[in-house]
Structure 1
Amino acid sequence: MPARPHSPQRSERLKAFLVEEARAAGFDVARIVAPDAIEDYAPAGLDAYLQAGRHGTMQWMQETRDRRSDPRVLWPQTRSILMLGMNYGPDRDPLEALARRDRAVISVYAQNRDYHDLIKGKLKGVAGRFAARAGADVKVFVDTAPVMEKPLAEQAGIGWQGKHSNLVSRAFGSWLFLGSIFTSEPLPSDAPETDHCGSCRACLDICPTDAFPAPYQLDARRCISYLTIEHKGPIPHEFRPAMGNRIYGCDDCLAVCPWNKFASDAHEAKLKARDELREPALADLACLDDAAFRALFSGSPVKRIGRDRFVRNVLIACGNSADPSLAGHCRERLNDASPQVRGAAVWALSRLLEREELLSLAGQAKQEPDDTVRHEWHRALETT
């Protein structure tokens, strides 16, 4: 079949159809960007990030560097990219929960079903209808694929990458899920957005672990989101007190952004928090076994880190709670099958118990078979 002519009128009609379909599917914003729009700056920024080691143990970022830095390497047929945004703004200030130290704070985006599933299904529907109309090839991506979504969204005019390195929108603040549809159909691009951060540095100043070495730069190794989600081993001691009661992700730099106040109530978020995940009690979460963890977080992005890493985070929060009533739950985890959990339990108890009480548990330290947990015991008994 001969290729259809790419007249400007046809391209404009197809673009209007695609954007209309995206809106009808529930996306709040949809704009077109050319696949070469980020080639002059994004790859260099990615290389500097990787060379500095700021990606931590996320080795997949290094392995997918070429595909990540150029959409045409990921899919050579790409002629246009539709970037889409979906509002997930919370109905209350996430920072308020940080003061309730006996409660756990889960990042806003993870308080309901996995947004990857929600968005990918909608993307496939929109892409399929466009492919049928245009006779074009399409591919859809959410942020698990090696796509530099934030720079592409900036060049599409959806928002700009703020000083916290996340996307900021004048209409939705820092609360947008992003997705993309790659197509072989050439479509007219939209104008990029400009930076509107000005002299504001609220997102930099609020970071509990000083994860921003400079504006627009993030060191993931210091970021609580990275530490609670991506980091697989014991969390470095220097960051544990600053984690507070954050057990999955961190919304501080997003929640403090002044542009959030311009997110109109008319822009209704597509995901509402599950009541049981808004501010669950640390006492309840510390007791979860694998089956209970899977049941509670079925369909949630939290499930992907696994029970052991999750309970590790919960025990760190228990240690930061200053609530001695949680010590019993931490003591139960000293016999957990996971060394990761046992080590976090030791640290939590060193914060919750008086020295004499902690010394009474020293017998368990002598029986501990894991080197990392023995190190936790040694440190706790030496510094308490």
Structure 2
Amino acid sequence: MVNAAATNDLKARLVAKAKELGFVAVGVAPAETDPERARRLHDWIAAGHHGSMGWMEDRADVREGPHSMWPEAKSVIALGMAYTPEHDPLALEEHPDKARISVYAQGRDYHDTVKKALKALARWLVEQEPETELKVFVDTAPVMEKPLGEAAGIGWQGKHTNLVSREHGSWLFLGCIYCTLDLAPDAPHPDRCGSCNACQAACPTDAFPAPYQLDARRCISYLTIEHSGPIPEEFRGPIGNRIYGCDDCLAVCPWNKFADAAARHKAFAPREELVAPPLADFLELDDAGFRTLFTASPIKRIGRNRFVRNCLIAAGNSGDAELRAPVERLRADPDPVVAEAAEWAAARLG
């Protein structure tokens, strides 16, 4: 057991090491389950706002808080890595022949980069305190990184439900380390949204039934990434030229004026061919071409068919007659969802 002074010194060195490894935000929260956070999670699922993401419901009890997964945990180290864009994410709105890809997916897959840094930090922590037990998480486990980040003081959950940082705006990838060390917690971050509703007003599909609530079934990120079937027709027009994710609610947040692209981790620099790609290029992709193009990209996980489905919706919204030929060819695609999207796009272009 280490004394309080030694623990404080360890925490200071932990923060310094985390920043050396590329994290720009570090905080500590207690591992105890927060009943209010758990209640909000269950209310969200009960309302059906998780859509077809069955994994949210299946392990909701584990997701309630750190102790629900690991009763021995004492502290949560919440960390953020910046992916701040250099350019306005909304700039392609007026260029319907170009494909809009969410900022976070224009560089390397964040899972790999963040997890590698988390593991390095975990190894360092065990070297300092050999009796420490810990677990690292990046997005794929039943861990509520955003409310834990708020509890650890690295930001707050804004009205768009994403974490907002006073220093880094809306552009943070989050990771957590659960550990058996009893580290001094940081103060929870206060809500700084005030009366602003810019994110709510910016949503093209009205995915926010109320501030701080998201109905994933109406969210363009959900529809283009998580949703596997045909996209409901009521959302096809509002999707515009967004083919993977949506940045609108994040991009309009006033706190982004403090975010500096110089803080962005080098792994998340955008690939030139994904910043403003012509839609026509993507409509020609077969499975092999898709896998080659999106190697080491988070886009790869949705597969060629879902990706081309999204591109066909964008093509149908483009009004670009030059896209008609590749769209027509896709009407005979063996995947019925792709073929249906091609029928819809062809009718729109016709």
User: TM-score normalized by structure 1?
Assistant: 0.89
Q: Which residue of 2 aligns with 1:210?
A: 206
| CA deviations over 1:188-215 (Å, ceiling 9, x no partner) | 0011110111110000001000000000
Give secondary structure in 1 for the equivalent of 2:270.
Answer: coil
* CA-to-aligned-CA distance 1:326-358 (integer Å, 9 cap, x gap): 1111001011111111000000011001xxxxx
Structure 1 stretch 341-350 or stretch 65-74: which is displaced more? Answer: 65-74
Tell me the distance in 2 between the aligned counterparts of 1:169 and 1:68: 23
Residue 193 of structure 2 corresponds to which residue in structure 1? Answer: 197
Show CA shifts across 1:211-269 (max 9, x none): 00000000000000000000000000000000000000000000000000011355344
**1:265–1:70 CA distance, 2 compared to 1 (3 A):** closer
Report the counterpart of residue 349 of structure 1 in structure 2.
346
**Contact 2:84/2:260 (8 A) holds in 1:** no
What one-letter code is carried by the residue in structure 2 that aligns with 1:132?
Answer: E
Question: Paired residue for 1:65?
Answer: 60
Among candidates 37, 44, 67, match of residue 42 of structure 1: 37
Q: Which amino acid aligns with 1:275?
A: E
- Name the residue aligned to 1:261: 257
Aligned match of 2:328:
331
Q: Distance in 1 between matches of 2:103 and 2:304?
A: 20
Tell me if 1:95 matches 2:122: no
Q: Is the 8 A contact 1:77 1:184 kept in 2?
A: yes
Q: So what's the TM-score if we normalise by structure 2?
A: 0.98
Residue 288 of structure 2 is aligned to residue 291 of structure 1: yes
2:127 to 132, 144, 155: 132
1:249 counterpart = 2:271: no
For the pair shown, the structure with the greater C-alpha radius of gyration is 1
| Cα deviation, residue 20, structure 1 | 1.4
CA deviation after TM superposition for structure 1 residue 16, in Å: 1.5
Q: Does 1:141 align with 2:134?
A: no
Q: Which secondary structure state, in structure 2, belongs to the residue aligned with residue 41 of structure 1? A: helix
Q: CA deviation at 1:132?
A: 1.6
Tell me the distance in 2 between the aligned counterparts of 1:238 and 1:157.
Answer: 39
Q: Are residue 277 (structure 1) and residue 274 (structure 2) matched?
A: yes
Report if aligned partners of 1:172, 1:263 keep a CA contact under 8 Å in 2. Answer: yes
Report the Cα distance in structure 1 between the residues aligned to 2:72 and 2:12, rounded to whole angstroms.
Answer: 21
Q: Deviations over 1:36-69 (max 9, x none)?
A: 2x51311000011000000000000011111111
Rounded to whole Å, the distance in 2 between the matches of 1:346 and 1:272 is 36
How many angstroms does 1:77 deviate by? 2.0
Q: Quick one: higher RCO (CA 8 Å, sep 6+), 1 or 2?
A: 2
Partners of 1:85 and 1:156 in 2: how far apart? 11
Equivalent residue pairs, number: 348
Residues 17 and 130 of structure 1 are in contact (CA less than 8 Å); yes or no, is this contact kept in structure 2?
no
* Partner of residue 321 from structure 1, selected from 293, 308, 318: 318
Write out per-residue CA displacement over residues 354-377 of structure 1, whole angstroms, 9 at most, x where no aligned residue: xxxxxxxxxxxxxxxxxxxxxxxx
Q: CA deviation at 1:166?
A: 0.5
Tell me the C-alpha RMSD between the 2 structures: 1.0
Residue of structure 1 in register with 2:73 after alignment? 78
Does the aligned pair in 1 maintain the 2:327–2:342 contact within 8 Å? yes
Unaligned runs of 5+ in 2: none
Q: State how far apart, in whole Å, the 2-side matches of 1:262 and 1:246 are.
A: 26
**CA spacing shift, 1:153–1:244, aligned 2, 3 Å:** same
Counterpart Cα distance in 2 of 1:29 and 1:164: 20
1:17 Cα deviation (Å)?
Answer: 2.0
Alignment partners' CA distance in 1, 2:157 and 2:28: 17
Output the amino acid matched with 1:117: D
CA–CA distance in structure 1, aligned partners of residues 261 and 88 of structure 2: 14
Q: Which residue of 1 aligns with 2:114?
A: 119
Among 177, 183, 204, the alignment partner of 1:181 is: 177
For 2:179 and 2:261, the matched residues in 1 are separated by 33
Alignment of 1:104 with 2:128, yes or no, is no
> C-alpha distance in 2, partners of 1:326/1:268?
35
Q: Residues 265, 284 of structure 1: CA spacing in aligned structure 2 closer, same or farther, 3 A cutoff?
A: closer
Aligned residue in 2 for 1:365: none
> Does 2:159 align with 1:167?
no
| Change over 3 Å in CA distance of 1:316–1:191 after alignment to 2 | same
The equivalent of 1:356 in structure 2 is: none
Long gaps (5+) in structure 1? 354-384
Question: 1:29, CA displacement in angstroms?
Answer: 1.1
